[in-house]
Amino acid sequence: MGLNKVIKTGIISKTSILDILKKEFLKNKYLYIMITPVFLYYLIFMYQPIYGSLIAFKHYYPGISVFSSPWAGTYYFEEFFKSYYFFRLLRNTLLISVYNIIFGFPAPIILALLLNEVRGRIFKRTVQTMTYLPHFISTVVVGSLILNFAARNGVINIILGYIGIGPIQFMIMPEWFRTIYVGSSIWQEIGWDSIIYLAALSSIDQQLYDACKIDGGGRLKQLMSVTIPSISPTIIIMLILRVGKIMNVGYEKIMLLYNSNTYVTADVISTFVYRKGILEGNFSYAAAVGLFNSVINLALLVAVNRISRKMSDTSLW
C-alpha cells in the first residue's frame, strides 16, 4: 500500500509507515546514500549552529554553558540600535550591496549574451577561460593585487600620470573605497556567474530564433523578443537569491583593504561582528548583531520572492 493510499484511507499506523519507509529506502538506497553527505553538511554547519543564536539573548562568557548563562533579553539588540555605529554600519552595508546589485548583477548577464553571439569557438573559449580564472584567485591575493595596483606608485597611478592625472591616494580616500570594492568584485566573479546564464541560453529552442527571422527580426529583435524572455526566469531567480544576501557583505576582502581612514565608508556589519566577537570577545553583542543581520536578510528574501511570484509567476517557492 502506497503512502498516498494510506493517508487517503486513514489507515495510518507506526508499522505501516515504517514498512513504507523501508521499502522506499531499499528502492532508492543509492540515491539516499549519495545525498547523505549533503544532508550531514547542512545539518552540522547550517542547522546545528542555530543553537548558538541563544547567545544573543544571554550574558554569555566563555567557560559557562549557554543555558547556564544569565538571561539578557533584548539588551544587546537595544545597545546596538542605540550605538553610534548602527546607522553607519547599516548605510555602508546597504550601499555596497546595492552597488553590487546595480553594477555587478547585470555584468555576467551581459557577458553571457555577448559570448552567446560569438561564433569563433577558440576565441569564445579563450574569453571564458580568462574571465573564469579570477574566481579561483584567493581573497588574500586579490587584496594584495588591489593594494599594489592602487598604491601611490602603482600601475593605476602610473597610467594616470601619462594623461596628466594624479597621483591619487586611492586606499586612504573614503570616497574611493566602494568603487574599488565593487569593481574588483565584478572583475573576480563576472566569468563564474555567467556560467548559469550561458547554460540557460544553450537551452533556448532554436526554432524560436527561426520564427523571429521569418518575421523579419534582426539580431537586436531576436535578443529582445526571444533571448531575454527565455532566460528571464533564471534572471529573476538569481536576483531573488542576490537580494536575499544583500546584508551579507563579505568581511574578508574589506578587512584586507580598509584602514582607519576609510572606516567611515568601509566598515560594514560583518566586519563589526568580527571585531566585537573575535577581537574583543563580546560574543553576546556580536551574536545579537549577526542575528539582526540574518533576520533582515530573511525578511528581504521572503518579500522579494512574494513580489516576484505576484508579478511574474516565477519564485523560489
* Residue linked to cell 574571465: 131
- Domain boundaries, given as residue ranges, for the chain: 3-57, 75-312
Report the distance separating Cα 295 and Cα 301, nearest Å: 10
Angle of CA points 70, 74, 76, to nearest 5°: 80
Report the distance separating Cα 72 and Cα 290, nearest Å: 16
- Nine-digit cell at 9? 484511507
202, 239 Cβ separation under 8 angstroms: no
Sign of the alpha-carbon torsion through 83, 84, 88, 91: positive
The domain 75-312 is placed in CATH, from the list 1.10.3720.10, 1.10.275.10, 1.25.40.10, 1.10.490.10, at 1.10.3720.10
Report the distance separating Cα 198 and Cα 132, nearest Å: 13
Within 8 A by CB and 6+ apart from 242, the residues are 101, 105
pLDDT tens, N- to C-terminus, the chain (317 residues): 455 554 445 555 556 777 888 888 888 888 888 999 999 998 988 888 888 888 889 888 887 888 888 888 889 999 999 988 899 999 999 999 999 999 999 999 999 999 988 888 899 899 999 999 999 999 899 999 999 998 888 888 898 888 888 788 888 889 999 999 999 999 999 999 999 999 999 888 888 888 888 888 788 888 888 889 899 989 988 988 888 888 888 788 898 888 888 889 998 998 899 888 888 888 899 999 988 988 888 888 888 888 888 877 777 77
Helix 174-202 to helix 85-99 angle, to the nearest 10 degrees?
A: 40
pTM for the full model?
Answer: 0.81
So what's the pLDDT on residue 100? 92
So what's the pLDDT on residue 5? 52
Beta strands in the chain (DSSP E): none
Long-range Cβ contacts of 150-153 (<8 Å, 24+ apart): 150/180
Within 8 A by CB and 6+ apart from 62, the residues are 281, 283
Count of all residues that appear for the chain in the document = 317
DSSP state of 171: G
So what's the pLDDT on residue 259? 85
So what's the pLDDT on residue 1? 46
Within 8 A by CB and 6+ apart from 301, the residues are 240, 241, 243, 244, 316
Helix (H, G, I), strand (E, B) or coil at 99: helix
